[in-house]
């Protein structure tokens, strides 16, 4: 291990993160009763310009008056390039800061963006005498944000998570798609000619690099990496496949832009019983190996060693966290 110690963000369950428009208060109670681990009340892209002020009021009221139980509550503020943003922060933190766990910052581009919001939130918290510190979640969804993702991840002690905002990322990088997430048949390779002269097409995942880059920056700074939206809420199979790819890369959760996606995210982002059982067997086998003075042994015909302990512990700790 490096001599550099990575401080981990507070351990929160973040398998599913439900997006709820701040302009749709009729959805709030249902969201509060859902199985989502985290809810973000949106003041940004799901809210039309004319509704911004009312949405802000709805969100403040909802944070103060609705029983959200043990859910982690977040508010997505508007971007730093808009004039809505300062009032989002000032009004929401001043008037509902005690029930707010996280602020989600969209389209964050540089470490200085994080610094600016940190400064503002710190002043408000101090003025109000809040004892709890509000954490930050950042959506990496522009070319600039992806270029600076490591600096952004390290920019504040409030940072808790990085989210891949695939829709805005596609727009910012001018990717040729109008879908929100998912695969694209044009991102494919052709095999060499098969025996019958035909060629098979293998679709690729055009988001692989971006998501993998984000996971590395998040983990190197002790933050949770999360995959963002999957727009086609009538395609649970497609959602599950995207969530599985993200989970395999190291993501802890995925957004739900529709209530039907919450259960899918919770399921995919929880280690299966088989995975946990195997992880426990690895830990037992390594304990036995250590007692016999061995560093590496074989389990079910495969080599395991000290790195296997660290891998297995990740799964066992996650299962423990889910069990509560």
**Secondary structure class of 314 (helix, strand, coil):** helix
Considering only CA atoms, which of 271, 292, 296 is closest in space to residue 282? 296
Of the pair 101, 141, the CB lying nearest ligand GLV is at 141
Contact between 243 and ligand GLV by CB under 6 A: the answer reads: no
Q: Report how many residues bind ligand GLV under the rule CB under 6 A.
A: 9
Which CB, 118 or 168, lies closer to ligand GLV? 168
Q: Which stretch binds ligand GLV (CB under 6 A): 112-120, 122-130, 166-174, 298-306?
A: 166-174
Distance CA 68, CA 51 (A): 24
Identify which of residues 142 and 148 has a Cβ nearer to ligand GLV in the complex: 142
> Please, which residue, 144 or 322, has the CB nearer to ligand GLV?
144
**Closest distance of CB 167 from Mg ion, Å:** 5
Angle formed at CA 167 by CA 208 and CA 219, multiple of 5 degrees: 45
**Site for ligand GLV (CB under 6 A): which residue of 79, 109, 135, 165?**
165
228 binds, among ligand GLV, Mg ion, none (CB under 5 to 8 A by kind): ligand GLV
Per-residue H/E/C for 124-152: HHHHHCCCCCCEEEEEECCHHHHHCHHHH
Question: Judged by CB under 6 A, does residue 139 bind ligand GLV?
Answer: yes
Residue 10: exposed, middle, or buried by beta-carbon count in 10 A (0-12, 13-18, 19+)?
Answer: exposed
Helices (H) and strands (E) in the chain, counts: 12, 12
Residues in the chain: 324
Angle, helices 208-220 vs 236-249, to 10°: value is 40
Q: Which of 79, 165, 225, 229 binds Mg ion (CB under 5 A)?
A: 165
262 touches, from Mg ion, ligand GLV, none (C-beta below 5 to 8 Å by class): none
Closest distance of CB 236 from ligand GLV, Å? 19
Contact 52, 78 (CB under 8 A): yes
Please name the residue ranges forming H helices in the chain: 28-32, 52-65, 85-96, 111-128, 143-147, 149-153, 166-173, 208-220, 236-249, 260-268, 273-291, 306-323
Site membership for ligand GLV, residue 168 (CB under 6 A): yes
Is 12 within 8 Å of 72 (Cβ atoms)?
Answer: yes
Judged by CB under 6 A, the stretch of 8-16, 142-150, 163-171, 297-305 that binds ligand GLV is 163-171
Complex with ligand GLV: residue 97 or 228, whichever CB lies closer: 228
Q: Which of 168, 264, 269, 315 binds Mg ion (CB under 5 A)?
A: 168
Among 13, 43, 92, 166, binds ligand GLV (CB under 6 A): 166
Nearest position to Mg ion, beta carbon: 168
Q: Applying CB under 6 A, which of residues 182, 228, 253, 271 lies at the interface with ligand GLV?
A: 228
List contacts with ligand GLV (CB under 6 A). 106, 139, 141, 165-168, 228-229
Q: Which spans of this chain sit near Mg ion (rule: CB under 5 A)?
A: 141, 165, 168
């Amino acid at each position: 291990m490096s001599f550099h110690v990575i401080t981990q963000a507070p351990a929160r369950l973040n398998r599913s993160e439900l997006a709820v428009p701040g302009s749709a208060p009729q959805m709030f109670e249902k969201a509060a009763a859902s199985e989502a681990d985290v809810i973000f009340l949106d003041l940004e892209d799901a809210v039309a310009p004319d509704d911004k002020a009312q949405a802000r009021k709805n969100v403040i009221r909802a944070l103060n008056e609705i029983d959200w139980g043990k859910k982690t509550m977040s508010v997505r503020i508007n971007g730093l390039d808009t004039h809505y943003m300062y009032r989002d922060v000032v009004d929401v933190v001043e008037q509902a800061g005690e029930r707010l766990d996280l602020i989600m910052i969209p389209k964050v581009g540089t470490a200085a963006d994080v610094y600016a919001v940190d400064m503002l939130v710190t002043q408000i918290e101090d003025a109000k005498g809040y004892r709890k510190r509000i954490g930050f979640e950042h959506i990496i969804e522009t070319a600039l944000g992806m270029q600076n993702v490591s600096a952004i991840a390290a920019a504040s002690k409030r940072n808790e998570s990085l989210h891949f905002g695939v829709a805005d990322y596609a727009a910012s990088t001018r990717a040729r798609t109008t879908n929100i997430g998912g695969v694209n048949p044009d991102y494919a390779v052709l095999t060499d000619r098969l025996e019958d002269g035909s060629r098979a097409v293998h679709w690729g995942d055009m988001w692989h690099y971006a998501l993998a880059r984000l996971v590395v920056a998040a983990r190197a700074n002790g933050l949770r990496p999360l995959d963002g939206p999957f727009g086609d809420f009538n395609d649970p199979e497609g959602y599950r496949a995207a969530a599985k790819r993200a989970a395999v890369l190291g993501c802890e959760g995925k957004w739900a832009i529709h209530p039907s996606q919450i259960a899918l995210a919770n399921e995919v982002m929880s280690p299966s019983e088989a995975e946990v059982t195997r992880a426990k067997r690895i830990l037992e086998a390594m304990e036995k190996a250590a007692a016999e003075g061995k560093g590496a042994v074989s389990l079910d015909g495969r080599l395991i060693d000290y790195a296997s302990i660290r891998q297995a512990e990740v799964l066992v700790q996650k299962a423990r966290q889910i069990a509560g």
